[in-house]
Each structure stands twice: as structure tokens, then as C-alpha cells.
Structure 1
Amino acid sequence: MILLDGYQLSLNDLRKLLYNGARASCSKESLKRVDQNRKAVETIVANGETVYGITTGFGKLSDVHIQTSDVDQLQLNLIYSHACGIGEPFPPLVSKAMLLLRANALLKGFSGIRREVIERLLLYANEEILPVVPQQGSLGASGDLAPLAHLVLPLLGEGEVFYRGKRENATVPMKEKGIEPIKLTAKEGLALINGTQAMTAMGAVTYLEAEKLAYEADGISSLTLEALRAITDAFDEDIHLVRGYPEQVDVARRLRKLLKGSQLTTRQGEIRVQDAYSLRCIPQVHGASWQALAYVKEKLEIEMNAATDNPLIFDGGAKVLSGGNFHGQPIALAMDFLSIAMAEFGSIAERRIERLVNPQLNDLPAFLSPKPGLQSGAMIMQYAAASLVSENKTLAHPASVDSIPSSANQEDHVSMGTIGSRHAAQITTNVRRILAIEAICAMQGITYRDPTKLAPKTKKIYEAGRGIVREIDCDRIFSYDIERLTDWLKENGDIEKIVIGV
């Protein structure tokens, strides 16, 4: 059980909740804060005070006063009117992360929401009743309004959910489990949707996948190094210590340990004096992307424990302050950085693929084909990888530098952070396929060398990969091989465990 209190949720905790079957619950102390904060909202309504989002309209309509008798209807209207998301839904795992992250933010105790609403969010997450949330429609400021409105609908008995592998009307699991719709009261609709949880959830899930993929990139590149008889002197610790980047030092150390005992790698001057940059500079390029991942991780873990709605209630209601914590700029920048970092893993991997298949750059059979000319071998796999790399270049254009005013120019600067998180996710998916292609080509190159001469660690990677994709003994539909290995890289932790363990 993972206890949520609004302050301590880590990406490792989120990994356990999303992938390892852990369940979430509210800490007792956090619920006390929630109860105290809720009393402040009730007092505001009872006294007829004018407070944004409680007794006023929203956005440019904030100057419109709402009668006490209408404050509950105001919140329901807010959810209905803002549920205008469009496009394909977020993956169910991202919807689950949204539920968990929104609950955690509300448990900080500054939002004025009832504890039963937060507990309902966690019930849906724990029971895998996952709202269908369209991916498009958020500007990434004023919160992820449209996506989070769709997240709330199933709590009201509206909208759709992913449940037991199917897309269902929200009432289906509610009837099955005896769950009654909640009724929103003062401020609760606003508290639920005024946050950055769509971009943060998508970003967190993408980060967890990206981190795994970064380890896999280190492991797969080590196979390529052996297939191309690379020079290991470039990974000598002294080279990397004098530059001083810890992540670069770490990648070089992993490569040395992965390649220890190899009879395929060479020393400088043995065959060549220097290798091409895509081989020699793996620690520098991968290391730089690892630096970016560290930055992204830090920002995500701050945002995962942030109060991001508006207004916020302090000192038992003595201070109710309107601000802009819903603005997604910190995560927007982090997502753009994640996009660039992952795109570079793919870019250098594609150059390694070229060196594996190009007969002008190696001493292997042309395009790794058993019968060059009659059979094309891996020729078009490099095309496919190059296409993904080019697509990543367009996706990596920073979303955060764009802004379009909204709400009659009241909300005149927005982050586009949710777009950035979606782009980062697509780039990460593309890079996984590029690395799958590199792995297929590297394994084929090693097959032409001698797999018995592999280092003990890389031999484990090779044998695990060969269990998914057999050697290229004739031309076949390679798309199937790429997808099988891509799925394996996503779902299986074999390479990651080997690389982390060295």
C-alpha cells in the first residue's frame, strides 16, 4: 500500500502503483488537513463572501457573482462545459496516473474539497475504472481543463471508462460494484480540473518508459560495438573523468563492464586508430541525454506533489488567494527537454545502424544480407529508422515556445505543456522502434562474427534477443520482427536488468 499525503510521492512509488499492482490510500494526517480546509469553503458560502470559483464565475466571467443557491450547480456546469476534449484517448495507464496525481495534489489540503471526492478518485484508480480522456484540447494553463473534466465525468456517472479491457459507459462498473455517483458541491469541480495532472501524468509515464529505454540503449549499443569490432580505449575512465560529467562517466563505466571479456572488440591501432563518432562518443551523447532525464525527473517529482489549483485556501480560510500554480510552464519546458533527449538516443542509434548495414563502412556482408543482391537484407530497416529519426526532429520542436490567448484574453499566456508531453511520448515510442532495429542489425552482425566471442554480459543480451527474433537467413517481412522486438523492449526488463547490474 502506498500512502498519499501530497508531499512524498515519487516516480518509484508511481511505478509501483502503475506497473506492480500496488494500491493507494490517503494518509490520516492528510485527511485531517482536507477536512479543516473544507470547513473554510463552507464558511465562505454560508457568509455569502465573494471568492473566485466558489461564488463567482470562471475565467473572464470571474466578475459575475453566483447566488448561494446556485454554487453547487456552478460546479456541475463547469465540468459539463469544460468536457470538450477531442481526439484519441490517453492510454489507460495515463488515466490511472491522472487519478492518482490529482488525488495526491488535493491531499495537500489547500483546495477545499471533501475527503469523499478524493477517496472516489483513489477508488477508481485502485479498481482500474479508468476514465476515457481525450488527448487533445488542453492549453496547459488554467490547468488541463478539458482532459481533467473528462477525468471527472465517470465520478458523476457520466462519460466512458476503460474497464476490464473494454471501453464501457461509466455506469457499467458503477452498477457492478454498487458505486453511487458523487454530487459536486462548492469549489469541488474547480478543484478537480484546475491542475496540471494530464501533462504531468503523461510526462511521468513517458519518463518511466524513457528511463528504461535509456538503459536499453546502453545495452544495445554495446552489441553494435562488438559487431563492428569497436575500439574500447575510447571508454577508458580517465577520458571521462577529465571532462567531469557524472552521467558520461556512468555510461562509459557501463560500456566497459558490458564489454569486459569480449573477444570481438579491439584496441586502438589494432585494426583502426579511431572509430566514428556514433561509436566513440556514445558516453558523451547518451550521457548528455541522461543529464536531461535527471532534470525531467526532478521537475516531475516536484509537480507530482504540488498544489496546482486556484484559488488556494490558507490558514483555515483566513487567506484565500488567487494565483497561477495551474500554469504548466515548468512541465512544458521539462517535456520539451525530454523530447530532445530521447530524440538524440534515436539519432545516434540510427547512425550506428547505418554503420552496421553499409558495406562501405564495415567488413560485414552488404546490408547484413546472406545473399547480397538477390536478397536486400536489412537495407530498408535503415530507411525505416531514418524515417523515425526525421519524424522525431519535427516532434522535438518545443511546444513551450508557443502561446495562444484564451478566455477573452484573460488567460493571455499558456504553456502548451500537454502537447509537449504527448510529443515526448511519441518520440519515446519512435526511439524504441529505432533501438529494436539496431538490436536486430547488431545481432545479425554478431551472427556473422562469432557469438561465442561475445562478452559474458552482452552474450546474455544477444541470447535474450535471439529468443524474440531469429537470425536473417533470408528476406522476410521484417516489420513483424521489429514490432516483436519493440514490444519486448517495452514489456520485458531483461536488458535493463543486465545494464543496471553491471
Structure 2
Amino acid sequence: MVNTAVTEPVKSTLSGPVAFGCGWISIEQINAIAQQQLQVVLSDNPQFQQQIDAGVAFLDKLLQEDGVIYGVTTGYGDSCTVKVPLSQVHELPIHLTRFHGCGLGEYFSPEQGRAILATRLCSLTQGYSGVSWPLLRQLAAYLNHDIVPRIPQEGSVGASGDLTPLSYVAASLIGERDVYHKGDIRQVADVLPEHGLTPIRLRPKEGLAIMNGTAVMTALACLAYQRAEYLTRLSSRITALASLALKGNSNHFDDILFSVKPHPGQNEVAGWIRHDLNHHEHPRNSDRLQDRYSIRCAPHIIGVLRDALPWFKQTIENELNSANDNPIIDGIGEHVLHGGHFYGGHIAMVMDSMKAAVANLADLHDRQMALLMDTKYNNGLPSNLSGAAPERRYINHGFKAVQIGCSAWTAEALKLTMPASVFSRSTECHNQDKVSMGTIAARDCLRVLQLTEQVVAASLLAVQQGVQLRIAQGELTASSLSNDIQQMLTSLQQDYPLLQEDRPLETSLRQLIAQIQQQHWPLYQEHTDAK
């Protein structure tokens, strides 16, 4: 029988090729593969090889005995009562890929496509999907040769898995449809021979094994996780810079204060901000006893996401390292187990939760921006943070429009926080009568991350401008700043000089967003690793 015991995950590594089929695969490994930083191999572990061989042999045995197997000798979904003649069993997977070829919307990027391939490979190499070595080797070759199916984003309800988007993976394996290859969009049939590959023939169950699972939503969740994690760091740094620019009260982040409310992620954020502000060495006390909430409560806001990250990670990686198609094939024990592991409820919950916590960061920085712009609240900074000379202040407007943009991006992010998972729709002749909407939740989450990164980029430009203005006004000395803050300000000023005369900021914002998404600044790494 299938082993259901809970075991300690094998710790992953980011050095060398990732071996599928011999242990736990991490979010970080999936993302490194997606970013073409790591190659993949199939494990030579004897137990893994035995599982794959046994699954194939067991299915062949059942076919010879004319056994009834869902999706192998029957139709799909509500058509499971239709018995397929053995003479047509080998055509069934091809039809599955073709009638699901109806995806619409924008296409997933090559990076997202590679994450999807790696995530599906991870599930299939659990050894309970009844797939053959040629299929597994072809998926590995796709990743190593940068052959990425071009997959439309829309068309999955998240149970019976990501059928329609994953049909584009299955179709490419048999030589149909388009792929991304080294920056171009090409027919897969033209690309395969260039790498000594040929289309494979899908065995019975293999079309279903590829398509009937949670690979798309889980892959997107892996990509979303690292972006959200980085935003907790960058939001903490921006808050510290905002506090400096606003002449804030550093006592709001005191270690004794936070010891009485011991949420670990919240306290980690407070510690980062406290470190940036040199609180113990150079306490800066505002004339006000208490700053406004968007400064004073920032650890409590950022900390919600920070504290949720361990649960997010555990849930995503559990799904990643699961066999999540149907039926499950226990080749060694010779069982066909019909169930619903394709249901993406766990990923849907993570993505719905993550997007709400991330959107709160956009709202936080939008409020911080409002304080910085307004002379009623910014404690002596110029209106709209304009760095113009006094005689030029009449026509220069600084960050006025950028702050309007922040409000627009924040509003859109907040609008998307409605949980997708509550919008289950009965479909497919009421066979799929309760579905997860996990892929829609994941796509929403990526959009919320993009919008929040836009707000964060604008906020980073604004807060570094505010600190530079304080230094120029003699109200702050560069030498009093922490080394980390000094280094980041120097880095920012090299690419984004002080805004004195109005200039278009679109190019700067786009460049900064790209740097954020590439995690250009390894923020607080030493403090987190030592924790």
C-alpha cells in the first residue's frame, strides 16, 4: 500500500542539478529551475526506479486483464461510465489533450512555464502516477534545453486540477502546439529535432497524469512565495527610511515594547527597523509622543505576512511534493486508488491569504507616501518632496503624480483581495460540482504582488528623496545612519539621483520594479540567517 506516514522532509540544496525522485523538492529549487539557475536530473535511486517500473507494469497487467481504470479504459469526468474499447485506449490521451486545447487570456511567461514543468515533474516522480520513463525524461529534457510550452492563463477551475492549461504541456510532448525556446515562439515539432528529441507516444493514463493535478497553481504559488517574502524585508527598510524622513520616534520599535506581544515575525520586522534606525546608539525622539499608525504600527502590519510565511511555505511544499492526479497508481502494492487529490483547496487558501496580506503592504506604503507628500504631516519637508531650488518651487511638483499612481495601484490591489476560493462553480455535468478556484487565486495573487511592487518602488524613490532632503537641510547627518542604510542610499542615488527639476519617472520606476523582483538588495540576510 501507499506509505501514509509523516516523515521529516529531506533538506534541499541549491547547488548542482536538482534530482527528482529521491527526496523533498523546495520552493527555492523550483524557482531556481524556473530562472534557469539549475539543471534537473532523474534520480538513480533504486526504490524510485522500482516504483516507476512497477506502476507501468501494473497498468499493462490491468489492460491485459481488461480491468476498468478511470481515464484509461473509461471516459473522463462525467463520462466515466463510458467504457472505451481496448483498441482505442491508446488514442484516448491524445483526445484529452486536444479537447482541452481551449485556453484563453494572456500566456504564462517562460519563467512561469518552467516552474509549471518542474512542479509537474515533482508530482509525477513521487511514483504514484503510472507514468513511464520516456515521459519523465522528456519533461527533464524540456527543462534542460529550455523548451517551454506556451500556456494560456485562463480556463482552470482548480479541480479536476489544472486540466486546460496543463493540456498544453501534454500536447507539446506529443509534438503539437507552440513553445518558447531561447526567446522565440516556435512550433514544438520544429524544436525537438534540434536537441535530438522526438515526440513521445502517451501511454494509457499518461495524458491524465500530466493534466489532472495542481501543477499550475502550485508553480505560481512557489514564484509568489519568494516575492512576498522579499517584500516583508523591503517594506521594513522603507518604513525605517520613512521614519527617518518624517523625523519619527524610534521608540516605537523598542525591543522591550515588542517583548510583550511575542509574534515572532512581527518582532523580527521591528528588530530590522530598530537596527536600521540605530535606535540604541542614536535614539531619535520626535516632538510628537506617537507617530501615525502607518509608521508606528508598521511591524504589526508587515508582521502579519511575515508570520504567515512558514505556514505558506509548508503548505505549498506539501502540495509540491505530493502525487495529486487521479487515480493514484500503487504499482508495488497493485492498487488503483480513485480519489480527489487534484483538488487545489490548500493552494487556493494560501494564495487568497497571501494576496490579502501583500495588498496590506501596498496600503501601508500608500499611507506613508501620503504623509511624506503633505506639508501638514511631513514635519517640514517640501511639498510633494520636491527638491527644487526655492526660486523654482512654483512650477515643480516632485512626487505629486507618483503618489496619485500609488493610490491607483493600491486601490486595484485591494479590489483583488476578494477570495477566489469562495466562488466555486458547479461544472462538467455537475461531476465537478465543488471546485477550488486555486489557479484564479494564484493569478490574482501574482497581480497583487505586481501592483504592490509598483507601490513599493515608488515609495522607495520617495523615502530616499525624503532622507536626502533632511540631510541637505542639516536635520540629519549621513554619519549617524546605520551602515546598511548608508549603503542602500548610496546605491539608490547612483541610479536615481535627487529629483530637483521635474522629470518623467516611468523609466526609473520600471527599472526599480525589476530590481525589486530580482531581489537586488539582500536585505537583513545576516540577521535572518542567524535567527
Q: TM bucket by the smaller chain?
A: over 0.9
**Corresponding residue for 2:457?**
436
What TM-score, normalized to structure 2?
0.91
Q: Secondary structure at the match of 1:72?
A: coil
Q: Secondary structure at the match of 1:162?
A: strand
Q: How many residues align?
A: 500
Q: Secondary structure at the match of 1:251?
A: helix
Shift of residue 93 of structure 1? 1.0
Is 1:322 paired with 2:349? no
Q: Determine which of 472, 479, 486 is the counterpart of 2:499.
A: 472
Which amino acid in 2 is paired with 1:79? T
Contact 1:262 1:455 in 2 (8 A): no
Which amino acid in 2 is paired with 1:421? A
Per-residue CA distance 1:53-103 (angstroms, 9 max, x = gap): 110000010001111111110111111111211111111111111111111
Q: Determine which of 446, 449, 461 is the counterpart of 2:467.
A: 446
Equivalent runs, 1:16-35 vs 2, <5 Å:
16-19=32-35, 21-29=37-45, 30-35=48-53
Contact 1:469 1:481 in 2 (8 A): yes
Which amino acid in 2 is paired with 1:305? N
**Corresponding residue for 1:282?**
298
Which amino acid in 2 is paired with 1:26? L
- CA distance in structure 2 between the aligned counterparts of 1:35 and 1:24, rounded to whole angstroms: 20
- CA distance in structure 2 between the aligned counterparts of 1:64 and 1:498, rounded to whole angstroms: 57
Q: Secondary structure at the match of 1:316?
A: coil
Q: Secondary structure at the match of 2:180?
A: strand
Shift of residue 443 of structure 1? 1.1
Shift of residue 277 of structure 1? 0.7
What TM-score, normalized to structure 1?
0.96
- CA distance in structure 2 between the aligned counterparts of 1:317 and 1:147, rounded to whole angstroms: 32
Contact 1:24 1:126 in 2 (8 A): yes
Q: Secondary structure at the match of 1:87?
A: strand
Q: Determine which of 125, 143, 146 is the counterpart of 2:164.
A: 146
Shift of residue 448 of structure 1? 1.0
**Corresponding residue for 1:366?**
383
Q: Secondary structure at the match of 1:108?
A: coil
Equivalent runs, 1:285-296 vs 2, <5 Å:
285-296=301-312
Equivalent runs, 1:97-246 vs 2, <5 Å:
97-246=115-264
Equivalent runs, 1:385-400 vs 2, <5 Å:
385-400=406-421
Which amino acid in 2 is paired with 1:310? N
Contact 1:144 1:193 in 2 (8 A): yes
Shift of residue 13 of structure 1? 2.0
Shift of residue 315 of structure 1? 5.5
- Unpaired segments of 5 or more residues in structure 2? 1-16, 472-476
Is 1:266 paired with 2:287? no
Shift of residue 224 of structure 1? 1.2
Which has the larger displacement, 418-427 or 476-485? 476-485
- CA distance in structure 1 between the aligned counterparts of 2:283 and 2:464, rounded to whole angstroms: 15
- CA distance in structure 1 between the aligned counterparts of 2:196 and 2:302, rounded to whole angstroms: 51
- Unpaired segments of 5 or more residues in structure 1? none
Shift of residue 321 of structure 1? 1.4
Q: Secondary structure at the match of 2:90?
A: helix
- CA distance in structure 2 between the aligned counterparts of 1:486 and 1:62, rounded to whole angstroms: 48
**Corresponding residue for 2:423?**
402
Contact 2:230 2:519 in 1 (8 A): no
Shift of residue 405 of structure 1? 1.0
Which amino acid in 1 is paired with 2:486? K
Question: Structure 1 pair 128/219, CA: closer, same or farther in 2 (3 Å)?
Answer: same
**Corresponding residue for 2:14?**
none
Contact 1:229 1:265 in 2 (8 A): no
**Corresponding residue for 1:485?**
512
Cα RMSD (Å) of the superposition? 1.8
Q: Determine which of 323, 327, 338 is the counterpart of 1:311.
A: 327
Contact 1:31 1:107 in 2 (8 A): no
Shift of residue 444 of structure 1? 1.0
Shift of residue 110 of structure 1? 0.9
Contact 1:111 1:311 in 2 (8 A): yes
Question: Structure 1 pair 174/497, CA: closer, same or farther in 2 (3 Å)?
Answer: farther
Which has the larger displacement, 181-190 or 21-30? 21-30
Which amino acid in 2 is paired with 1:274? Q
Which has the larger displacement, 294-303 or 416-425? 294-303
Contact 2:22 2:43 in 1 (8 A): no
Shift of residue 318 of structure 1? 3.1
- CA distance in structure 2 between the aligned counterparts of 1:474 and 1:70, rounded to whole angstroms: 73
- CA distance in structure 2 between the aligned counterparts of 1:492 and 1:189, rounded to whole angstroms: 37
Shift of residue 298 of structure 1? 1.3
Contact 1:6 1:104 in 2 (8 A): no
Shift of residue 146 of structure 1? 0.3
- CA distance in structure 2 between the aligned counterparts of 1:161 and 1:312, rounded to whole angstroms: 29
Which amino acid in 2 is paired with 1:433? Q
Shift of residue 366 of structure 1? 0.5
Per-residue CA distance 1:109-146 (angstroms, 9 max, x = gap): 11111021011111101111111000000000001000
Contact 1:254 1:499 in 2 (8 A): no
Shift of residue 336 of structure 1? 0.2
Percent of residue pairs identical: 30
Question: Structure 1 pair 12/425, CA: closer, same or farther in 2 (3 Å)?
Answer: same
Contact 2:250 2:279 in 1 (8 A): no
Question: Structure 1 pair 262/227, CA: closer, same or farther in 2 (3 Å)?
Answer: farther
Q: Determine which of 483, 487, 496 is the counterpart of 1:460.
A: 487
Structure with bigger helix share is 1
Q: Secondary structure at the match of 1:88?
A: strand
- CA distance in structure 2 between the aligned counterparts of 1:209 and 1:126, rounded to whole angstroms: 24
- CA distance in structure 2 between the aligned counterparts of 1:468 and 1:390, rounded to whole angstroms: 29
